[in-house]
Chains A and B, each alone.
Chain A
Amino acid sequence: MDSQITLRVDGAAHPLAVDTRTTLLDALRERLRITSPKKGCDHGQCGACTVLLDGRRVNSCLVLAVTVGDAEVTTSDGLAVDDVPHALHRSFVEHDAFQCGYCTPGQVCSAAGILAEARAGWPSAVTPDVAADTVELTDDEIRERMSGNLCRCAAYANIVPAVADVARAEGVRR
């Protein structure tokens, strides 16, 4: 059954008719040809499809496009402003934090998510005291918070410092 929706993606509005079964990931990739979010597992297990929905990271493969409404979708591409790469993009390049690059746009969106979550003081499963007022993105915290993003090339050893550098610059790590 078709439904008329308008997706707001990286600052542009896209009206389109979708079958209600279409996921946000498929709408982006197959209909709008916005291909920075990748399809790895299609079941919420790998994080390759991660985008920001009103600034919060989500797995776009499990979000039905018809449920998105007016929410703003930001992909890794959209984190770049006027073709200037985001600090996370630059840090991933500087640290060689990928090999094939397939998981990278999802990693970058997820990293943007964890920086915002840390600024808001959200704890994680490895935070010793969940009631603490502030959190610091230690290497352990980064690993735990990024655990929803798999990398089949196992670039983890470089992803952690890539995220750590930006966390330091943003004041959520010493």
Chain B
Amino acid sequence: MREFRYERAADPAAAVALLAAAPDGAFLGGGTNLVDLMKLGVATPDVLVDVRELTSREVADLPDGGLRIGAGVPNADLAADRRVRERFPVLAQALLAGASGQLRNRATTGGNLLQRTRCGYFTDVTKPCNKRSPGSGCGALEGVHRNHAILGQTIAGSDDPATCVTTHPSDMAVAMVALDAVVRVLGPDGEREIPIAELHRLPGSDPSRDTTLRHGELVTAIDVPALGMPSRYRKVRDRASFAFALVSVAAALDVRDGVVRDVRLALGGVAHKPWRASAAEYVLRGMPATEASFAAAVESELEAATPLRDNAFKVPMARNVVVRTLLDLAGRDTERELA
């Protein structure tokens, strides 16, 4: 591991200033991802600015019934928060579906959002990977990619510097995308708010960048607006627990008189970012809440899928997981749930 200086700051602005002066530095949350990557030689910061206790550990009520979640709130505490469990079950379930009890106790909301991919070529410094080492190529395209993306990849040949076919690993972020969360950021130039759908990126021509954040920008909180409909998270994985998603779905559904009034759908395990299924949502609004409509909607979303040699199974898997989850939600009466 590269040597580094360890810093604590007096307040968030001081932390931002410290990192602005350290182009190779990084913020440290719970460290469950960053320390791991430092051991592997994948992350090589020369300064760590510890923000775990500096960013808020509070979940505060917003006037509209939403919540402001401090970036320092541990994953375990967020999943256990009574308001999250009652108003946003999809978020509690997504958090509980991720990692282990020990990891969730230490991991923070900010760190979870910004955790890096689990692609085996990214985490092995002896392998080509455009994300870790821009221009070195993509080992996964022709290699081991059974759990890689089926949507939105950049596929331009193994040696092309733009190629990247990996996924974003966070479960929490998938729920946050379905919930239209807003990420609050403090940077050297002040504060800004980023709709979460604009935080994570597709690889495009630069797979090295996971997000639209600039160096030194600190996530201070995530705002989750009121939802007002039943929601749930469902994750399919290779073993029953403690494994990353093959496919996951965060869904919310508002059915009145048998008709879909509103729907939110986001998929995990399928793309470089949590995938908001906007096409499916568009098709579904105003349709009868039946299995046939749900299947037609998700199929319209998956028409764009470009599966790799070994992960075509994810296309029907995504379809089935979405249909099953929407059927579960449709079996419940929105009026009664919200009473």
Contact = CB atoms under 8 A, between A and B. Distances in A.
Given A67-B52, A124-B96, A125-B97, A23 B35 contact: yes
A122 B76 contact: yes
B295 to A, nearest CB: 26
A117 B101 contact: yes
Interface string B75-95: 010011010011001001100
Contacts of B79: 122-123, 130
17 contacts: A1-B5, A21-B4, A23-B35, A47-B102, A57-B101, A58-B105, A63-B35, A64-B35, A64-B48, A67-B28, A67-B50, A67-B52, A120-B80, A122-B80, A143-B241, A146-B101, A148-B103
Interface residues of A, number: 41
B57 interface: no
A163 to B, nearest CB: 13
Given A44-B103, A145-B101, A147-B100, A123 B85 contact: yes
Nearest to B36: A43
Nearest to B52: A67
Given A67-B31, A123-B80, A147-B241, A20 B106 contact: no
Given A122-B79, A125-B241, 12 more contacts: A44-B36, A58-B102, A59-B100, A66-B6, A67-B6, A67-B50, A117-B76, A117-B101, A122-B80, A144-B241, A147-B242, A148-B99
Nearest to B100: A148
B108 to A, nearest CB: 12
A23 B102 CA distance: 16
Interface in A90-147: 110, 113-114, 117, 120-125, 127, 130-131, 143-147
Contacts of A57: 101-102, 105
B85 A148 contact: no
Interface in B1-16: 1, 3-6
A56 interface: yes
B302 to A, nearest CB: 26
A50 interface: yes
B101 A110 contact: yes
A20 B2 CA distance: 10
B110 to A, nearest CB: 15
B102 A110 contact: yes
B242 A148 contact: yes
